[in-house]
Amino acid sequence: MKQERQGVTSAVLHDRFPGMGGGERFAIETARVLDAPIYTAYVAEGVSPPEDVTIIPIQQKKYTRGVSGRFLEWKNEGMNPLETLLVALDLTDAHDELVNYDVLVESAPLSKSYVPPIEQTVLHYPHSPPRWLYDLYRERLSGFDYPGVRFALKAYAKWWRTLDKEANDYVDQFVANSELVRDRIQRYYDRDAVVLYPPVTGDWYDGGDDDYFVTWSRLSPEKRIDLVVDAFAGLDERLVVVGDGEERETLERKARDCDNIELLGYVDDVEDVVARATAVVYAPKDEDFGLVGAEALSAGKPLIGVNEGYTRQQVVDGVTGLRFEPNVASLRAAVERFDPDDFDADEIRRFAERYDRATFAKDLLELVNKAHAEAASKRSAVNTDDTKTVHIH
């Protein structure tokens, strides 16, 4: 399984594949650039990764089959505390082959649990420090009213923070997907991080303007699609919503009496839907990076984005789009003052070049080579100092 690139062998460790979200796509693109295999705890049933990348599940049967599989797949991807704990424990020693690689690129927070050999260089790309432990801790805790439950959750979170920060000692270089996440890493881990934007893949293009606005993502509370639907319910402009998830039925009820709002569910050709849109609307809560925003800009489409998280940095007001505050009135005002003639698709695409796959590949290779050389140099210096140690008996 070992792949060699310019004399340096690399592998990718991604915590698990519960679906094909942004973290999974990042792991796949990293593996393609480095010509490296991906090791992971498991690939969930029904998930079909691309065939050109080698993915090696470490504990596939445990998480997907039998009694344990049925229990552990319940609300996976961080919502099942037992599954999260077991994935972290399984990744500590991970796979016997992993110790043979010179460089390991870790994707997602739990991959940091892996304990590397001394001579291995580890780059950790967390996407974000676990938000339920840090910046969203108080908000998540406020959802539980019972004192006993709150006490137990506080103790559980404190224990997890200890484990999370202990694993920082195994990392040679932290890598952030945005300046926002770089600041979180500095604040919560007291470690510097290099910013490497994840790549935009797919065929994103400008196919004209069919006079509708579009928003798309996983339909979950933190994406705040309900805010967008509520705003357009009071407007004459058309809104197309693409995506599926836990809030789909709620959103369909909201839009039932609104002739100007259409929910398409999941579609394979979202690029085509975006290509014919007037603009993209995006309202996530404190987004770490926001692949939707990067994809919209890559298509040359103006982004009407919430003034929070990394989304505010993707929107250069009046150049790449318009900002709004996270409330219905502000979004309605932004849509009403939006004029497509004020924006240049070519200028928007030039801004989005920072998210280009070729840029990502170049920067990733440079980063891996530099981190490996620096880590090797430090180890060499330590070994040299050791030989100078005088032992007095």
Kindly state the percentage of the chain with pLDDT values over 90: 69
CATH topology of domain 4-199+358-387: Rossmann fold (3.40.50)
Q: Which residue has the tokens 């698709």?
A: 345
Under the banding of pLDDT at 50, 70 and 90, the label for residue 1 is: very low
Average pLDDT over residues 183-205: 95
- Choose the weakest-confidence range: 68-77, 137-146, 152-161, 223-232: 68-77
DSSP per-residue string spanning 119-186:
T-EEEEE-SSS-TTTTTTHHHHHTT---HHHHHHHHHHHHHHHHHHHHGGGG-SEEEESSHHHHHHHH
Homologous superfamily assigned to 213-354 = Glycogen Phosphorylase B; (3.40.50.2000)
Taking only the tens place, the pLDDT of each residue in 219-261 is: 888 899 999 999 999 899 999 999 988 899 999 999 998 999 9
pTM: 0.85
Task: For the chain, give every domain's residue range.
Answer: 4-199+358-387, 213-354
Average pLDDT over residues 84-101: 93
Closest CA relative to residue 302, chosen from 337, 270, 269: 337
The predicted pLDDT at position 22 comes to: 84
Taking only the tens place, the pLDDT of each residue in 325-339 is: 999 999 999 999 999
Domains 4-199+358-387 and 213-354 share a fold: yes
Q: How far apart are CA 278 and CA 233, in angstroms?
A: 18
The predicted pLDDT at position 74 comes to: 55
Write out the two tokens for 71.
């229990």
Angstrom distances, CA of residue 318 to CA of 322, 323, 341, 342: 6, 9, 11, 7
